[in-house]
Amino acid sequence: MKKIKKNLQHTDDATLRQKVAAYQRQAQLSRLAPHSFAGKEQSSLSLLVPFAAAALTPFAALAQACSGAGGNSSSGSNGNINVYIDLDNDATNDMRLWDEPNDLFAFPLGTTQVSVVQAGAYWYAVRHTGAITNSANFRGMGQLTPGSTGNYATMEYSGTNDQWGGTGNVTGCLGVRKGTRLGFIQVTYNNNNSTTPTINAITLGSYGLAATGVTSVTCASCASLPVEMRSFKGEVRDKKAVLLWETALEKNNRGFEIEKSTDGTNFFKIGWVDGQGDSDRPMAYTFEDKSLQANQVCYYRLRQVDHDGGSEFTKIISLVLDNGGLNLHDFAPNPVAEGFTYLKFDAMNEGDVTVTIFDTAGKIVKEVTSAYIAGSNGIRLDLADLNGGMYYAKIQAGAFTSYRPLAIR
């Protein structure tokens, strides 16, 4: 049975305004932490205090990823050389280089695009030797060579428009783009005849894609490969805080210093996990903090440290060992646009939960009490009678209390 009370004066919690102010301060933590980003994670036994939303960012996104020389090739006599390149180690080929029989072509595969110039009815792959930027003309499968299959760009065809003409060992970089990620492929081919190309070999140097957000890369430069985070989250298991994180790629990574705080401002070191040094494959890490105390919010962040002493911080996450047995999910939708939202949660036992909505002045504007069962639960909150703006929800079930932000459009 639901009981709804509107526009009640707050009489049972003299410290509400202080709690709301403390929550608002927590919401600012992600903006105060260097190189941090906001987010929230939760598990069946944990509650993470949410922070203000912000875009996920890696440790650094200033230099490109590089793989070592490689690629899958099948080579033979002239006219029978194929090289396939997987730019991001996802087990999918992104580029094919083909000698047919005395000419050299680049075939972008899937969503990959190659930097080209057009001359007449044909597209020619640019031979980059320096910077490759987003301003280059990138085209992919189906966008090349009008009147043909539209799938390739010419590198060497013994014509005046060839970007890759020459004799002996001809070296340069193909500029590539996959989705929003910029990159390059360093190519060397051997040509022993300038009039009619005779391609004896195709070899690869370094290649790869930059981190998201990079707008310029340098041909064959693999300097300062970033440590790029894929995720950082936490869970409470058996009364321990378990921190879990993954990197997409690493360069010069000495390791991770694990830092903790009980107020969200002053952090101290509680542990260390060695990094992989250099890696272009996803790596997973974990760390356990066994010093959790019931109902005390603890904040965690990582400091990634390079071998040369440089360091970057991750976002801040928070965990609390909760004796109430509720695992709250986010309000959905939030912000509220259609006059209602749902609060979903998991409970270890049955009981009653009260959701109290406050405005920013601490005044109660709505209150809903509902019974719940052991397992998954959901409460619909009808909010059409409230004005647009920022509110705070207090969720209380026995000894369990949590505050969540709620926006109404």
pLDDT tier, 145 (very low <50, low <70, confident <90, very high otherwise):
low
- Taking residues 235-262, report their average pLDDT: 87
Strands 364-372, 375-382: pairing is unpaired
pTM (predicted TM-score): 0.44
pLDDT of residue 67: 54
Cis peptide before 333 (omega within 30 of 0): yes
> What's the CATH code of the domain at 2?
2.60.40.1930
Contact between 199 and 52 (Cβ < 8 Å): no
pLDDT of residue 42: 30
* CA nearest neighbour of 156 among 132, 207, 110, 192: 192
Tell me: do 27 and 38 sit in the same domain.
no
- Using CA atoms, how far residue 306 sits from 57, 59, 309, 314, in Å, is 18, 11, 5, 14
* CA nearest neighbour of 130 among 145, 149, 115, 140: 115
Tell whether the model's pLDDT for residue 375 goes beyond 80: no
Tell me: do 310 and 328 sit in the same domain.
no
Tell whether the model's pLDDT for residue 24 goes beyond 80: no
Tell whether the model's pLDDT for residue 1 goes beyond 50: no
Tell me: do 107 and 190 sit in the same domain.
yes
**b (16+ CB within 10 A) / e for 345-371:** bbbeeebebebbbbbeebebbbbbbbe
- Taking residues 236-260, report their average pLDDT: 87
- Taking residues 214-228, report their average pLDDT: 69
Strand partners, 172: 187
Residues 6+ apart with CB under 8 A from 212: 58, 61, 180, 181
Q: DSSP label at 68?
A: P
> What's the CATH code of the domain at 317?
2.60.40.10
Boundaries of domain holding 370:
1-32+324-409
Q: DSSP label at 295?
A: T
Residue 282 lies inside a defined structural domain of this protein: yes
Tell whether the model's pLDDT for residue 91 goes beyond 60: yes
* CA nearest neighbour of 18 among 367, 358, 399: 358
* Separation of alpha carbons 58 and 230, rounded Å: 7
Tell me: do 203 and 332 sit in the same domain.
no
